[in-house]
Amino acid sequence: MSYEAVIGLEVHVQLLTNSKIFCGCSAAFGGAPNTHVCPVCLGMPGVLPVLNRRAVEYTVRMALAVDGQVAHISRFARKNYFYPDLPKGYQISQYDRAGEPLSTGGSVTVETDRGPRVIRLRRIHLEEEAGKSLHGEPGYDPYLSYIDYNRTGVPLMEIVTEPDIRTPQEASACLAHLRQMLQYIGVCDGNMEEGSLRCDANVSIRKTGEPYGELVEIKNMNSMRALERAVSYEIERQTETRERGETLIRETRLWDDGARRTFPMRGKEQASDYRYFPDPDLVAVEIENRWVEAIHAGLPELPAARAGRLEKTLGLSADQSRTITETRTRADYFETCVTHHPDARAVFNWMTSELPRVQSEARLDTDALTAHIPPAHLAELLDLVREGSISGKIGKDVLDQMGITGKTARQIVTEQGLTQISDTDALETLVVRTLADNPAEVEAYRAGKTKLLAFFVGQVMKATQGKANPAMVSEMLKKKLETM
Ligand code: ADP
Ligand code: MG
Ligand code: ZN
């Protein structure tokens, strides 16, 4: 008797607009408490909200990226509830019935353990962020609660999936996919620790063939891993509850990542609990086709398409293309580098194995690394290695120095005389000397221990501080040893 999980996600996305959704206050993260506020976002009597056009544009952008149907007319509704972090006593939101969402439908194709899976989307809508309550935070009186309204009114886009997800891993893969798209199209920084991307998971179980079961909504996961853990825990808890013969109830539960379990928070509210009604202070939003077309034309190439193109045109594997297009910055770096250097695989290898090392050794963030080693500079280094002017090993040292100094490869190679020794006469002398210095090893080699070739090559490389051309040295040694 095995159960199947049924999972749907509600993803909350803080949009990267400069100002808040209904007023001109800064939407920037942080700031001294209650400094990004005004009568509108504090809910003072008599004020009127004015919709931020950019917030709508960003939502339409996401809608188009997932093939959603953008609404011609969209409305805002009031969702009424009382909580100290909500000074108006209602949240301006959109809702299926009282306020048509900006987008309906669409889907994403997510890479999962079971291969690509299509997850349909139910809707994408726009709403406003609530404030932040502080209890027992360092620097505050532990017996008091504080409220910071800086976040109040920051534009929040909500993406709701259909219950098409079946495993915890698929849930986190779906969230990772959405985050990648949001970052690519430049509407959200995707920072889950700072809360600019948050996700609630709706989880139920059923036996194959049964209709969907009663769902539990889980909140408060602030990383991909926490989402995966919380969903796994919840599936297990629901399975055990059902196996005990108990009935599962619709409720909202909170994930505690420290305790690794969910706790009941409240019975799952019904829509009627919120007394949704159209916001009388806001007019309906009419979205012109022309504007939608312009937004569509401005969309960047999306990660999956970009990976496919790189795979096809540059001979990278599917995995490599996916890795290199993980972020738009990385894909841009790669593509610029490849316009300067012909070997795409070499660019891939150096970007994925050498650059991260240099970055951590030089303690640079990604922007600083790119400033020290712009793509054209990496390409020049790879040119030097490819044409044999320096060995791969010297190349790595040169890259280290590029990371620290910001100099070009050619500058470093010239300044330090690192050019590879490919001069036959010079190498010949070294090879002869190395063999003369190691008579016992020569004897052993000739007795059949041909693995010693690597030892001789190593000796020559050491004598030249790595500057000898290893392929040439190896060739010459072999010839000499065979004719001795
Ligand atoms: P709404 O909040 O729009 O009225 P629901 O509460 O039914 O709609 O759905 C909210 C979320 O719950 C969606 O992401 C949806 O995919 C998911 N969901 C709906 N039914 C189930 C179910 N039986 N099991 C798990 N998730 C579900
Ligand atoms: Mg809901
Ligand atoms: Zn304001």
DSSP string for 67-84: T-EE-SEE--EEEE---T
State the closest ligand 1 atom to the C-alpha of 163, by its place in the atom list counted from 1: 16
Judge whether residue 107 has pLDDT over 70.
yes
State the closest ligand 1 atom to the C-alpha of 202, by its place in the atom list counted from 1: 26
The tokens describing 96, both together, are 């299926």
Q: What percent of the chain has pLDDT above 70?
A: 98
Expressed in angstroms and rounded, the spacing between residue 160 Cα and the centre of ligand 2 is 8
Any atom of ligand 1 within 6 Å of the Cβ of 204 = yes
Judge whether residue 390 has pLDDT over 90.
no
What is the structure's pLDDT at 268? 65
State the closest ligand 1 atom to the C-alpha of 162, by its place in the atom list counted from 1: 16
Instruction: Report which of residues 281 and 393 the model is more confident about.
Output: 281
- Across the chain, mean pLDDT equals 93
Beta strand segments in 351-414, E: none
Picking from 212, 230, 209, 232, the residue whose alpha carbon sits closest to that of residue 220 is 230
pLDDT band at 96 (very low <50, low <70, confident <90, very high): low
Which residue's CA is minimally distant from atom 8 of ligand 1? 160
Does pTM top 0.75 for this prediction?
A: yes
| CATH 1.10.10.410 domain residues, the chain | 424-483
The tokens describing 49, both together, are 């909200």
Least confident of 40-44, 262-266, 375-379, 393-397: 262-266
Picking from 434, 384, 443, 429, the residue whose alpha carbon sits closest to that of residue 409 is 384
Expressed in angstroms and rounded, the spacing between residue 94 Cα and the centre of ligand 2 is 12
Judge whether residue 420 has pLDDT over 80.
no
Judge whether residue 265 has pLDDT over 90.
no
CB 155 within 8 A of CB 126: yes
Expressed in angstroms and rounded, the spacing between residue 202 Cα and the centre of ligand 1 is 6
Alpha-carbon distance 443 to 4, whole Å? 69
Any atom of ligand 1 within 6 Å of the Cβ of 215 = yes
Expressed in angstroms and rounded, the spacing between residue 6 Cα and the centre of ligand 3 is 40
Helix (H, G, I), strand (E, B) or coil at 335: helix
Structure-token match 């012109």, residue found: 288
> Which of 160, 216, 252 is the pocket-test mutation for ligand 1 (most atoms within 8 Å of CB)?
160
Q: What is the sign, positive or negative, of the torsion defined by CA atoms of 443, 444, 448, 452?
A: negative
State the closest ligand 1 atom to the C-alpha of 203, by its place in the atom list counted from 1: 25
State the closest ligand 1 atom to the C-alpha of 214, by its place in the atom list counted from 1: 23
Helix (H) or strand (E) holding 441: helix 439-446
Maximum CA extent, the chain: 100
Secondary structure percentages of the chain, helix, strand, coil, to 5: 40, 20, 35
Alpha-carbon distance 126 to 107, whole Å? 18
Measured CA distances, 299 to 66, 108, 143, 306, 312 (Å): 11, 16, 50, 13, 22
Judge whether residue 1 has pLDDT over 70.
no
50 alpha carbon, closest ligand: 3
Q: Report the CATH number of the 424-483 domain.
A: 1.10.10.410
